[in-house]
């Protein structure tokens, strides 16, 4: 958790004396494990462990990309612990969407090796996407049913996002039972939304909901 958003949010909370907990999922950052061996269910277990064993009291959960998906899964699993959700480009149900749009070369790689190195502008070698990840992720789909969280939800999404389409945030809003949902689209922002002005938007949302 050494990215710009996480570090900036940590400094922001520290300066105002606000409790702040951040962590790397297994196979990410400084945590052990191998990304290619992990699944959405594993990462949800990691988040639940932190919520249950480290964080205290109601939490404002902040998640970016896959972390946004995990944030909504946390709210489903521990509704009484989640005070609000803030997400950046939430990749809800990303494995189902990936499966439905696999290019032929990806199907070939998955069939031959069980893993596809998905091209990404953020990782020259690509990201390892395994058959296990894609198939297990379907167990955690959210958009086929109402998302039973009725607290405040704030979503930031760049309209130049080439990893998670901006319109997915509208689908998430439609699925949420909460009426306190606000989406901010930033026309020139990409998937990561890590520019100084993007981070300022994120910090303002945390400030407003704290």
For 75, residues 6+ apart whose C-beta sits below 8 A from its C-beta are 61, 82, 85, 147, 149, 151
Of 38, 64, 190, 191, the active-site residue reads: 191
Of 46, 93, 140, 161, the active-site residue reads: 161
Of 65, 140, 190, 198, the active-site residue reads: 65
52 is catalytic: no
For 148, residues 6+ apart whose C-beta sits below 8 A from its C-beta are 76, 79, 177
- CA pair distance 11, 14, nearest whole angstrom: 5
Q: Are 81 and 60 in contact (CB under 8 A)?
A: no
CA-to-CA dists, residue 146 to 174, 177, 180, angstroms: 8, 6, 15
191 is catalytic: yes
CA proximity to 153, closest of 194, 175, 183, 198:
183
Q: Which residues pair with 165 in a beta bridge?
A: none
140 is catalytic: no
**Which of the residues are catalytic?**
65, 161, 191
């Amino acid at each position: 958790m050494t990215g710009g958003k996480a570090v900036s949010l940590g400094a922001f909370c520290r300066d105002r004396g606000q409790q702040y907990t951040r962590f790397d999922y297994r196979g990410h950052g400084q945590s052990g494990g191998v990304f290619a061996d992990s699944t959405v269910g594993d990462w949800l277990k990691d988040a639940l462990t932190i919520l249950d064993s480290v964080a205290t009291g109601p939490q404002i959960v902040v998640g970016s990309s896959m972390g946004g998906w995990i944030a909504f899964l946390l709210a489903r699993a521990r509704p009484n612990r989640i005070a609000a959700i803030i997400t950046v480009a939430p990749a809800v149900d990303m494995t189902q969407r990936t499966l439905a749009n696999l290019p032929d070369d990806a199907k070939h790689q998955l069939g031959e090796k069980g893993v596809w190195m998905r091209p990404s502008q953020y990782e020259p070698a690509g990201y390892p996407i395994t058959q296990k990840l894609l198939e297990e992720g379907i167990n955690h789909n959210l958009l086929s049913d109402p998302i039973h969280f009725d607290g405040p939800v704030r979503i930031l999404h760049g309209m130049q996002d080439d990893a998670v389409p901006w319109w997915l945030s509208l689908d998430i809003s439609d699925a949420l039972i909460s009426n306190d949902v606000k989406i901010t689209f930033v026309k020139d922002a990409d998937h990561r939304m890590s520019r100084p002005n993007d981070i300022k938007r994120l910090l303002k949302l945390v400030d407003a909901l704290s």
